[in-house]
Amino acid sequence: MSTTIKGYVHSVETLGAVDGPGLRFVLFLQGCPLRCKFCHNPDTWRFEGGEEVTVKEQVKQILRYKNYIKSGGVTISGGEPLRQAEFVLELTRALHEEGIHVAIDTSGIYCEGAALEAAMEADLILLDIKSFDREKAKALTGFTTDHAWQLLEERQAANKPVWIRHVLVPKITIIDKKTDGSSFENEEEWKSQNAELVDGMRRLNTYSCIERVDLLPFHKMGEFKYEELHFPYELKETQEPDEQALAFAEKTLLEIRNPDQA
C-alpha cells in the first residue's frame, strides 16, 4: 500500500444509499474539468484545496465503517475522481485487498493511462452520460461525450459492469412539455418530441455490460452554492421536469430494456 501517493478529498458520506449497491462509504474527491450547468456540487470544481490524505490514511478511515458497508462498499466520486487517477488506482487496489467492493462515479473524461487502469480496476463504474447528442453535451458541460462512450466500450470488452446515469434537464436533455406549456397527453406524443432521448436509450441497450440505467430529474438543490461561490447559475429559470414526462421516460426505458415486462 502506497504511503506517498496523496489524494485531495472534498468530503465524505459514511452511509450513502444511492451511489451503488448496498450501503456505501462515498468519497468525494476535489477537482473537475467539466462545468456541467446542472451540477449540484460546484464547490468540487477547483483543483486546489481539499483535505490531503495518503492511501493508507484513507483506507484506515474507511475500515472504521467496514461492518456497516459490507452490504455495499466504497464509491469514489467527485468532482471527477479520475482527475486523481494514481490515488484512485492505489486506493482501489488497497480496498480490494480488504475485500471491499469499489465503484467509481465518473464522466469518463479521463480515459487513458492510470485513469483507464483505475476505471478498469473498479468493480463497478457509475458512468454519467451528459447528453445523447455530443455537441449538446459540449454546450452543457464544456466537453463532448466521446470519452464516456470510449470508457463504456472498454468496460464492454472486459465484460465489467456499468450503471448509467443521465440527468433529465427540461428543454436540453428532455422535452417535458408542449409548446403551450401543457403536459403531453400520451406516451406516443411524448416520444415524437423526444427522439434523441429514446434513440439514446436504444443505443445504451446494445451494451450487455450495462446493468442499470438511472434517469435523474434535474433539481436545484445546489443553486445556493453558486451564489456563495459567486458563480453564474445558467439554469436559474429552468424548472424541474414535468411528472408526466418523467413517467413516460421511465416507461419507455422499461419497454426498451425489458420488453417482456413492459
In-domain check, residue 217: yes
**First vs last Cα of the chain: how many Å apart?**
48
- Domain residues for the domain of 76 are 6-257
Q: How high is the pLDDT of residue 224?
A: 87
| Residue-wise pLDDT tens digits, 81-124 | 999 999 999 999 999 999 999 999 999 999 999 999 999 999 99
- Strands 51-54 and 6-16 come out as antiparallel
* Total-model pTM: 0.94
In-domain check, residue 248: yes
Mean pLDDT rounded to a whole number for the chain: 94
In-domain check, residue 1: no
- What's the rounded Cα separation, in Å, for the pair 204 and 230? 37
- Give the residue carrying C-alpha cell 444509499: 17
Q: Find the helix or strand (DSSP H, E) in which 38 lies.
A: none
CATH number at residue 209: 3.20.20.70
In-domain check, residue 262: no
Mean pLDDT for the stretch of residues 179-200:
94
Q: How high is the pLDDT of residue 33?
A: 95
| Backbone Cα Rg of the chain | 19
